[in-house]
Each structure stands twice: as C-alpha cells, then as structure tokens.
Amino acid sequence: MADEPSPVSAFSGALTKLASELYGDIGSPAAKHVGSALETVFKVGLSPIKLLDWGYEQTKDWLAEKVSSRLASTPAEHRIAPSYAVVVSAISGVAATHDAPEMRELFAELLLKAMDARTAKMVHPAYLTLLSQLSAPEALVLMSLKRVADRNLQHRQGDSVFMERRGSHVGDSTDTLEMQFAAHCASIGFDESTTAQVWLDNLERLALLKVDRHSDLNLVAAERERVKASLQHAEYRYLYVTGFGEGFLAACTPAGASNAP
C-alpha cells in the first residue's frame, strides 16, 4: 500500500495546482514567481519557530564571526555576558532578517554593545522590539536625518531637522514638513512620496521622530504715513529626532561609523 501524502505535501500540491489555474501555463513568469514563493514557505515550514531556526542556520556563521571580531578588540576586563533577554531578542532579530543585511547589522550591533561593559547601558530592551517594526529604508532614512541635524545644528539635541512656516502674508510660507521629508527621502534614493508618508507616520508612532508646533503674533509697524500698523500671524511646525531616537541610533551604530547610508 502506497504511503499517503503528508498534509504539507498535499497543501503544497494544492497551491501549485491553484497557481497553475490562476496563471495558465505553469512555465509563465507569474507562475514561476508563485512557485518560488511556495518553495520558500515550505522550506521553512509554517511554524514561526521553524522559520527562526531556518533563518538562524543561514546567519549563525556570520554572527559568530561578528562576535569573535568584536571580542578580539574588547579588553578582557570589559567583556561581559549580555542579559538573556537581549540575547534572545537579538539572535531572533538576526535570524528573522537574514535576507535584509542592513537590519541584520543593527540587531547584531545591539548584541555586540551589550557584551561590552562600557556600552551595555546604551542597549535599552525596547530598541530590539522597535527594530522589528522598522523596514530597512525607514532605518536608513532615520540615520540620514540625524546626520542632517548634526551637520546643520552643531550636534544640539532636540533641534529640528526641518521647519515649516505658514504666514499671513502672501509668499510667506515654506513647503510642508511632509513635503520636505519626502524630498529628503528622494534625495537619498527613495523616491516614493506615498511610502515616505507611511514611513514618517511610523517613525512618529515609534517616538523616534516628533513634530512640534507653535504660533507667533507680531505687530508690524507702519512703513509710511496713513498706512496702519498690522498684525502678522505665523504658524511653525518642526520635525526633529527625539532623544529616544538619538539613543536608539547611538546604540545601533558602531563606533566611528557614519549615521547615514
């Protein structure tokens, strides 16, 4: 009696059949993409644990080399064992981002800093959770914004990266913060205005960026006879990297490395 197919094999076959029906010729490019995706899904299994285990297998040699290299340059008296919570979160993050090198580097750096007594306090547990809620482009944009702020404002924490001004006089305005943010994303290679808005919303949600605002009302003196003085009203909005965001970037960035792509 022939062996019955396993549930996974049966499910895989059913999905392959569905792909064939949806896209016609199984050799078509669309069907090949579906087949490639299915192969990845069933290679790692449907269990999150299996997924992380497979990801770890792809990255363990890379991570071991990273740790060995950092420890070799760390004086023995400063080497410490990181907390179990940091180890689990960092290694899980490395495994989950094995196909996203930029994010994998950030998770690894947090682990490496936690193994050095001089930098361990920089690694807040929230940073590891936060990383899992960022895409690689968002992380790169955040790093580049910090560099812009540092360059323009002499490293003063809390200063704005972009400023929007809306005045009561014609021509007395600037581009919105959203427009400036999208333009900045485009300037470093991410020319997607709709996506840029999603990134801005997410970075604000995570308290890495913040928008602040205030308004001014000024009396403008008359410039000539029979011309009354007037009141000039202006609304300001500022976008800046928060103190929490600066701490996050400091923890994720290797010593001596640039904060921008």
More confident residue, 52 or 238: 238
- Looking at residues 49-62, what average pLDDT do you find? 72
- Looking at residues 194-209, what average pLDDT do you find? 94
User: What is the pLDDT, as a whole number, of residue 235?
Assistant: 86
**Closest by CA position to 99, among listed 185, 42, 40, 34:** 40
CA distances from 65 to 38, 59, 71, 109 (A): 32, 10, 10, 13
Residue 255 has pLDDT above 90, yes or no: no
* Phi, psi dihedrals of residue 222, rounded to the nearest 5°: -65, 140
Mean pLDDT across the chain, nearest whole number? 77
Residue 22 has pLDDT above 50, yes or no: no
Starting at the edge strand found earlier in the chain, the sheet holding 162-167 runs: 162-167, 230-241, 209-220
In this structure, of 20-34, 142-156, 188-202, 223-237, the range with the lowest mean pLDDT score is 20-34
Measured from the Cβ of residue 201, the count of other Cβ atoms closer than 10 Å reads 12
189, 162, 143, 256 alpha-carbon torsion, rounded to 10°: 120
Contact 239, 161 (CB under 8 A): yes
231-249: pLDDT as tens digits? 676 888 999 899 999 999 9
Residue 134 has pLDDT above 90, yes or no: yes
160-191: pLDDT as tens digits? 788 888 876 645 667 899 999 999 999 989 87
Q: What percent of the chain has pLDDT over 90?
A: 33
User: What is the pLDDT, as a whole number, of residue 215?
Assistant: 76
Measured from the Cβ of residue 115, the count of other Cβ atoms closer than 10 Å reads 21
Pairwise CA distance, residues 196 & 204, whole Å: 12
User: What is the pLDDT, as a whole number, of residue 112?
Assistant: 93
pTM of this structure: 0.70
User: What is the pLDDT, as a whole number, of residue 254?
Assistant: 82
* Domain map (residue ranges) of the chain: 9-46, 48-132, 136-252
More confident residue, 226 or 245: 245
Contact 157, 243 (CB under 8 A): yes
User: What is the pLDDT, as a whole number, of residue 217?
Assistant: 61
- Looking at residues 116-143, what average pLDDT do you find? 93
- Looking at residues 183-212, what average pLDDT do you find? 91
Pairwise CA distance, residues 250 & 192, whole Å: 27
